[in-house]
Amino acid sequence: MQNLRKVVIIGPESTGKSSLCKLLAEHYNTEWCPEFARDYLLYHGKKYSYDDLEIIAKGQIELEEKVASIVQGAPQNLADNQTAKKLLFVDTDMYVMKVWCEYVFGKCHQLILDEIVTRKYDLYLLCNTDLPWKQDELREYPDEQPRLELFNIYKDILIHQNVPWVQINGDYAERLQTAIETINETFAIH
């Protein structure tokens, strides 16, 4: 998958990650990989165990590989983005799984740690907590303090790794604009 560029959108829950992934995929006429955990928990129930998180991590990896294959196999339409690089937007990666494991259970599966080392991404977009909280059946942290704590954990991770990253702030339109500008600059899309 030589010319596939993977952009991961991460951050605490209810920060617009899925919405941003969807909008970016539409803008660049490509696919996005949703968060596997959502469907898993909707099917199995929102009470989960430490072992469930390893199953979710494996499911996320499989889903990402499946969507990446679709994007890689799709014909390139240079009129849409003027680049020979194909883009895939990923809602959640193994950093998110690591934070989830450690925040809830105080430990992390070796599979997740190994995948962090081996999986390659090209850009991270870190969504800030400045959007209003939206309740849904799976969200666990409506209070500002844990949301800020989780945001700072993600930010610390990104600061201490080598892939470029940008913090995404503002309302949905501002987030999309910042993300598009960052992607265009990072991948020289004109």
Task: For the sheet with 123-127, list strands across it.
Answer: 31-33, 86-91, 4-10, 123-127, 165-168
- Answer whether 38's CB lies under 8 Å from 86's CB: no
What is the domain extent for residue 133? 4-186
**Token duo for residue 121:** 């991404």
Q: How confident is the model at residue 83, as a pLDDT?
A: 47
Segment (H or E) for 82: none
Question: Cα(70)–Cα(91) distance, rounded to whole angstroms?
Answer: 16
Task: Give residue 154's identity as a one-letter amino acid code.
Answer: Y
Tens of each residue's pLDDT in the chain, 190 residues? 458 999 999 999 888 899 999 999 999 999 999 999 989 988 988 889 999 999 999 999 999 999 999 998 877 655 544 444 699 999 999 999 999 999 999 999 999 999 999 999 999 999 999 877 666 555 455 567 888 999 999 999 999 999 999 999 999 999 999 999 999 999 999 7
Question: Cα(150)–Cα(13) distance, rounded to whole angstroms?
Answer: 9
3-state helix, strand, coil in the chain (%, to 5): 55, 15, 35
Segment (H or E) for 14: none
67: CATH: 3.40.50.300
Q: How confident is the model at residue 1, as a pLDDT?
A: 43
Torsion on CA atoms 167, 89, 111, 109, rounded to nearest 10 = 50
Report the 10 Å Cβ neighbour count for 35: 23
Q: How confident is the model at residue 108, as a pLDDT?
A: 98
Number of domains in the chain: 1
